[in-house]
Amino acid sequence: MTDHRLPYEGPIGVFDSGYGGLTILRDIRRRLPQYDYIYLGDNARAPYGPRSFDVVYRFTLEAVRYLFAQGCPLVILACNTASAKALRTIQQQDLPEIDPERRVLGVIRPTVECLADISTGGNIGVLGTYGTVRSGSYDMEIAKLHPSFTTTSQACPMWVPLVENHEADSPGADYFVEKYIDALFSRRADIDTILLACTHFPLLYDKIRSHTPQAVRVVCQGEIVADSLADYLTRHPEMESRCHKGGTCRYLTTENPESFSSLASIFLDSPVEVNHIDL
């Protein structure tokens, strides 16, 4: 049943398990600076990568409800793990009951849609968290949209902690980057496109690039998701008109705001003011 107590218009919500979605937010704000945004990082319960379907779904739904209560007509799950494990159920089961006028969008579909323009040979390597890889979401979406493509997925569980512990530029990072890239290519040597299917991985881009054969394309999602959101808002003027335009962004975390601020500076160019919330 529609909850008429919820505000009907407001900022665009951007949700991530923690910091990683800031790489997506940064590109969304560059592409669409005119809108107001709320970024919510569930840092107190991150990482989501190793968590079960049920837990990621429950946590993500709590975050979506919270953002709806802040007035967000539209929420972007800027987290591959949440998109892989929670998006479909929220869209199909929860939204019709919470409010059929609101929308929740993820990052997997828009990324996969672009692959036809990017890949030269149709052999895709997907790098993500354990959760994203085990969910098989990319494999299924790629098979659906590009039936002739092959998908080889590799979990890179050490990459998120490297980024979050300020080790992305260290020699230790080279070791783990090489390890997972080698593991990917040992399973399929003719991969022509690598998809960085985790929001933290763009921070390791230079190292990933340096350990990957030059002819192979390495794809980050931020600009793809930003372009897809711009396209969505153009095609849905009824939603676009409900998104407030003031160019602002509020940052919320379920953890300590000071820690969030300090780590957020790795992902964004300038310092941010953060508030604590409980889900």
Please state whether beta strands 249-253 and 274-276 pair in parallel, antiparallel, or not at all (unpaired): parallel
Asked if 228 is part of the footprint of ligand DGL (rule: CB under 6 A), the reply reads: no
Helix, strand, coil content of the chain in percent (nearest 5): 50, 15, 35
CA 78, CA 95: separation in Å to the nearest integer?
Answer: 18
CA 270, CA 92: separation in Å to the nearest integer?
Answer: 38
* Interface segment toward ligand DGL; rule CB under 6 A; list 73-81, 226-234, 251-259, 269-277: 73-81
Q: Which of 95, 43, 26, 86 is nearest to 268 (CA)?
A: 26
Q: Are 87 and 77 in contact (CB under 8 A)?
A: yes
For the question of residue 156 being annotated catalytic, the response is: no
Residue closer to ligand DGL, measured from CB, 61 or 98: 61
Asked if 80 is part of the footprint of ligand DGL (rule: CB under 6 A), the reply reads: yes
List the one residue from 12, 40, 75, 81 that touches ligand DGL (CB under 6 A). 81
CA 255, CA 42: separation in Å to the nearest integer?
Answer: 7
Q: Which of 92, 66, 62 is nearest to 6 (CA)?
A: 66
List the one residue from 43, 60, 132, 193 that touches ligand DGL (CB under 6 A). 132
Residue closer to ligand DGL, measured from CB, 73 or 202: 202
Residue closer to ligand DGL, measured from CB, 81 or 212: 81
CA 10, CA 8: separation in Å to the nearest integer?
Answer: 7
Given 72, 114, 156, 198, the catalytic residue: 198
List the one residue from 46, 64, 162, 168 that touches ligand DGL (CB under 6 A). 46
Given 72, 79, 114, 156, the catalytic residue: 79
For the question of residue 114 being annotated catalytic, the response is: no
Q: Which of 42, 71, 59, 83 is nearest to 248 (CA)?
A: 71
CB of 134 vs ligand DGL, minimal distance in Å: 12
3-class DSSP state of 202: helix
The footprint of ligand DGL on residues 2-41 (CB under 6 A) is 16-18, 20
Asked if 212 is part of the footprint of ligand DGL (rule: CB under 6 A), the reply reads: no
Which positions lie near ligand DGL, rule CB under 6 A? Answer: 16-18, 20, 46-49, 79-81, 129, 132, 160, 198-200
Q: Which residues are catalytic?
A: 79, 198
